[in-house]
Amino acid sequence: MIIKTSAATRLAARRMINGIEEGDDDFNPFILNPVKYNEAMEAYKTGNKNHWLPEEIQMQKDIEQWKDDDAITNDERRVVEVALGYFTTADSIVANNLVLAIYKHITAPEARMFLLRQAFEEAIHTTSYQYIVESLSLDEEKIFMMYKDCGEIWAKDEFSISRTIDILNPSFKTGTFESDMKFLENLVDFYVITEGIFFYATFAAMLSFRRRNLLPGTAEQFQYITRDESAHYQFGIFMINTILKEQPELDNKEFRQNTLDKIITAAKLEEDFAKHMMPRGILSMSSDTFSDYTKHIANLRLQAINMKPAFNVKNPYPWMAEFLDMSRQKNFFETRVTEYQTGGSLDMDSMF
Ligand SMILES: [Fe+2]
Ligand SMILES: [Fe+2]
């Protein structure tokens, strides 16, 4: 039997998770309207305005500089290779979790709109790393297999991958306290920790090249990726805080303690990764400042979900903020071919 529902009924039933209408065992969130979470639609539209493709960015200067031993030092080459070694798999791990684990259980169609956009952006990021590897003629086996060869990268990947397994189980369903908590924890593990913490110090390392007019095409791509990831992180925080508001029983001491413990673990993994990536440091950046930046970012993430900062550090890279407010820097991208930006901006002020 086909049951028709009114807009008011659909709106009343809408939740970030468990938004299932009474008597509707076969719930399918096909109908977008009426929109309840306007923030989700806005985030989706902003993503569209910020569309970009790697192949539009010229790599000629990067290719020349990479061949020149006087332009790029061995320590700098190591930073680029290790960054790519991590990211070539990290974005795929995020996409895997998003499409196969998260999407199914989010019951707000407008939130799903953003997730679809995000999944597309993760694919763009993956092709961006591929484009950089090919342009610079890097050793593909070395880069693409680094997640298995390098213990520090594997430890970060393992942290993320292990958090997907239970949700991926076909019998997993939200709707009980335990399963809802598990799902909420997955959002924290991916949006707050993987995309929100693991990515950022490496973004800073890559953007530091731009500040010195090195590898401009590579750095420009990382600039766009950083902007996209900031939007993903922000949307993750929105989903987490919405679920906590809609299901306050999940907001307990154990959830807060687990979150804090995981963030401390993530900062330690990042410290090990930093030592591997820059054993001697590069100009204006060392494994110590890298770790401090991670902790500074981790403090901001904790505050975003209404928790106290855990680390006593200052932001060692205040210049990061200037790279991220792209809408105000129209002439920044000298090599840009296509201008997609049509006025959308991301609120980055408290992010970096
Ligand atoms: Fe990504
Ligand atoms: Fe992402």
Q: What is the CA(323)–ligand 2 centre distance, in A?
A: 18
What mean pLDDT is predicted for residues 146-157? Answer: 97
Q: Confirm whether 112 is domain-assigned.
A: yes
Q: CATH number for the domain including 249?
A: 1.10.620.20
Indicate which ligand has the atom closest to the C-alpha of 221. 1
Q: What is the CA(292)–ligand 1 centre distance, in A?
A: 23
Q: What is the CA(122)–ligand 2 centre distance, in A?
A: 6
What mean pLDDT is predicted for residues 340-346? Answer: 46
Give the pair of three-digit tokens for residue 31.
Answer: 């109908």
Q: Confirm whether 91 is domain-assigned.
A: yes
What mean pLDDT is predicted for residues 338-346? Answer: 47
Question: What's the pLDDT at 13?
Answer: 86
Domain range spanning residue 233?
48-350
Give the environment of ion ligand 2: residues with CB less than 5 A.
Answer: 195, 229, 232
Q: What is the CA(61)–ligand 1 centre distance, in A?
A: 24
Q: What is the CA(279)–ligand 1 centre distance, in A?
A: 26
Question: What's the pLDDT at 31?
Answer: 85
What mean pLDDT is predicted for residues 246-264? Answer: 98
Taking only the tens place, the pLDDT of each residue in 176-186 is 999 999 999 99
- Does residue 342 surpass a pLDDT of 50? no
What DSSP string describes 211-266? HTT-SHHHHHHHHHHHHHHHHHHHHHHHHHHHHHHH-GGG--HHHHHHHHHHHHHH
Question: What's the pLDDT at 343?
Answer: 41
What mean pLDDT is predicted for residues 28-46? Answer: 90
Q: What is the CA(141)–ligand 1 centre distance, in A?
A: 21
Q: Is 131 a residue of the active site? A: yes
Question: What's the pLDDT at 122?
Answer: 98
Catalytic residue among 86, 131, 191, 224: 131
Q: Confirm whether 32 is domain-assigned.
A: no
Question: What's the pLDDT at 328?
Answer: 40
Indicate which ligand has the atom closest to the C-alpha of 102. 2
Indicate which ligand has the atom closest to the C-alpha of 203. 1
- Does residue 349 surpass a pLDDT of 60? no
Higher pLDDT, 157 or 336: 157
Q: Confirm whether 297 is domain-assigned.
A: yes
Give the chain's radius of gyration (CA, Å): 21
Taking only the tens place, the pLDDT of each residue in 99-112 is 999 999 999 999 99
What mean pLDDT is predicted for residues 17-33? Answer: 74
Taking only the tens place, the pLDDT of each residue in 202-247 is 999 999 999 999 999 999 999 999 999 999 999 999 999 999 999 9
Phi, psi of 156 (to 5 degrees): -70, -45
Q: What percent of the chain has pLDDT over 90?
A: 81
pLDDT-based confidence at 336, cuts 50/70/90? very low
Indicate which ligand has the atom closest to the C-alpha of 231. 2
Residue type for 253, please?
K
pLDDT-based confidence at 26, cuts 50/70/90? low
Give the environment of ion ligand 1: residues with CB less than 5 A.
Answer: 91, 122, 125
Distance CA 187, CA 233 (A): 10
Question: What's the pLDDT at 345?
Answer: 45
Q: What is the CA(128)–ligand 1 centre distance, in A?
A: 10
Mean pLDDT, the chain, integer = 90
Distance CA 105, CA 239 (A): 12
Taking only the tens place, the pLDDT of each residue in 285-326 is 999 999 999 999 999 999 999 999 999 999 999 999 877 665
Q: Confirm whether 246 is domain-assigned.
A: yes
What DSSP string describes 121-182? HHHHHHHHHHHHHHHTT--HHHHHTHHHH-HHHHHHHHHHHHTTHHHHSTT--S-SHHHHHH
What mean pLDDT is predicted for residues 13-20? Answer: 90
Query: Do 232 and 195 meet the contact criterion of CB atoms below 8 Å apart?
Result: yes
3-state helix, strand, coil in the chain (%, to 5): 65, 0, 35
Query: Do 56 and 338 meet the contact criterion of CB atoms below 8 Å apart?
Result: yes
- Does residue 271 surpass a pLDDT of 60? yes
- Which of 117-131, 240-254, 311-325, 333-347 comes out lowest in average pLDDT? 333-347
Question: What's the pLDDT at 7?
Answer: 83
Q: Confirm whether 306 is domain-assigned.
A: yes
Phi, psi of 213 (to 5 degrees): 55, 35
Q: Confirm whether 310 is domain-assigned.
A: yes
Total domains, the chain:
1
Q: Confirm whether 36 is domain-assigned.
A: no
- Does residue 84 surpass a pLDDT of 70? yes
